C-alpha cells in the first residue's frame, strides 16, 4: 500500500489494523559512466514497493538524496550533510508515529546512509516512540551476490548494474560496461584502502578514476531478476517477523538495576 495513493480515511482504516511501515531511502550520486545517478533510490523504491504490495504494509515516498559527499567530485552528485539527513529522516518517521505506526523498516540502498539511519532508530527507540531498523538489500543476500559475480564491487559494480537492468534497463548505458570496468577498479582489495593499518582516503575518486568498482561486464538482467526476487523475499520475511513482535519486546529494555545509583 503506497501512502500517497490513499485517502486519509483509508489510512485511518490501515492504522486501526496494522502499525508497520516501510521507508525507502537511497541517493542521487554518480554510479560511473554506465548507470544513472538515480541507481540507489530506484533500487530502494522498487524493493520497498514490491514488498509492500506482497504484504499489504504501508510504504512511504522515497528519500532520494542521502549522505553522499564522498562522491561530490563527480558531476551531478547531490548530498545532504549527516546532521540534516538524520534530523529530516527522524522528523519524517515521527510523522508516522503520530498517525499510529510503531515499527518501521528503512529500506536502504546506499551505504553512506547506514550509520545515520541506525542513529535515528536508536533515538526513536530510546525515547519510546517506536522501533525502527535499517535494512540493506545486498547485505540480506551475501551468498547469492558472491555466487553470481567474481568481482561484485561495493559501488557501481555488476550487482547494482544487474538490478538496474532488471528495474529500468533503458537507463543502463550498456555500451559503457567495458569502459566502466577498465576505468575503475575491478577488484578492490585492502591494498587500495589502507596504509599500515590506516584508512587514508575520504572520497571515492581517490581510489577509482571513474568512481566505480567491480566488473560491470558480468551484469545481466537475468542476474538482476534473481537478486531482486531474493532480496524481496528477505524483506517480506523481515516485515512479517517484525509485525509479529510485541512492541514491548522491541523497545529499549529497562535498566538492569531497578534503583540505579542507590547505595546499599
In tens digits, what is the pLDDT along the chain, a chain of 264 residues? 999 999 999 999 999 999 999 999 999 999 999 999 999 999 999 999 999 999 999 999 999 999 999 999 999 999 999 999 999 999 999 999 999 999 999 999 999 999 999 999 999 999 999 999 999 999 999 999 999 999 998 899 999 999 999 999 999 999 999 999 999 998 876 566 788 888 888 899 998 999 999 999 999 999 999 999 999 999 999 999 999 999 999 998 888 876 776 665
148 DSSP 8-state letter: H
CA dihedral sign of residues 119, 3, 43, 28: negative
Q: Does the residue 259 lie in any domain?
A: no
163 within some domain = yes
Domain-located, residue 261: no
For residue 221, which of 165, 178, 168 has the smallest C-alpha distance? 165
Q: How many domains does the chain have?
A: 1
Residue 18 lies in a domain: yes
Please tell me the pTM assigned to this model: 0.94
d(CA 147, CA 236): 22
The CA-to-CA distance between both ends of the chain, in Å, stands at: 55
Helices vs. strands in the chain: H and E counts, helices first: 9, 6
Does residue 264 sit within a domain? no
Domain with residue 135: its CATH number is 3.40.50.10310
Domain with 29 in it: 3-246
Query: 3-state DSSP call for residue 83?
Result: helix
Does residue 239 sit within a domain? yes
All cell numbers assigned to 207: 581510489
Residue 251 lies in a domain: no
Asked if residue 238 belongs to a domain, the reply is yes
Amino acid at each position: 500500500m503506497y501512502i500517497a495513493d490513499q485517502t486519509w480515511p483509508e489510512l485511518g482504516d490501515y492504522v486501526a489494523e496494522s502499525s508497520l511501515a516501510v521507508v525507502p531511502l537511497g541517493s542521487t550520486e554518480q554510479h560511473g559512466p554506465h548507470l544513472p545517478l538515480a541507481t540507489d533510490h530506484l533500487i530502494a523504491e522498487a524493493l520497498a514497493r514490491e514488498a509492500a504490495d506482497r504484504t499489504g504494509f504501508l510504504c512511504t515516498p522515497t528519500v532520494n538524496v542521502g549522505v553522499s559527499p564522498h562522491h561530490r567530485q563527480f558531476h551531478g552528485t547531490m548530498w545532504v550533510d549527516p546532521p540534516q539527513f538524520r534530523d529530516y529522516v527522524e522528523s519524517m518517521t515521527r510523522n508516522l508515529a503520530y498517525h499510529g505506526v510503531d515499527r518501521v523498516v528503512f529500506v536502504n540502498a546506499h551505504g553512506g546512509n547506514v550509520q545515520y539511519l541506525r542513529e535515528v532508530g536508536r533515538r526513536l527507540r530510546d525515547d519510546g516512540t517506536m522501533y525502527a531498523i535499517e535494512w540493506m538489500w545486498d547485505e540480506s543476500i551475501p551468498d547469492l551476490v558472491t555466487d553470481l559475480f567474481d568481482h561484485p564491487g561495493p559501488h557501481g559494480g555488476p550487482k547494482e548494474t544487474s538490478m538496474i537492468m532488471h528495474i529500468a534497463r533503458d537507463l543502463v548505458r550498456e555500451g559503457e560496461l567495458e569502459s566502466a570496468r577498465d576505468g575503475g577498479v575491478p577488484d578492490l582489495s585492502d591494498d587500495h584502502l589502507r596504509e599500515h593499518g590506516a584508512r587514508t582516503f575520504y572520497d571515492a575518486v581517490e581510489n577509482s578514476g571513474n568512481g566505480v568498482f567491480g566488473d560491470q561486464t558480468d551484469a545481466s538482467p537475468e542476474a538482476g531478476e534473481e537478486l531482486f526476487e531474493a532480496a524481496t523475499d528477505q524483506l517480506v520475511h523481515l516485515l512479517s517477523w517484525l509485525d509479529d513482535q510485541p512492541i514491548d519486546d522491541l523497545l529499549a529494555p529497562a535498566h538492569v538495576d531497578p534503583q540505579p545509583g542507590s547505595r546499599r
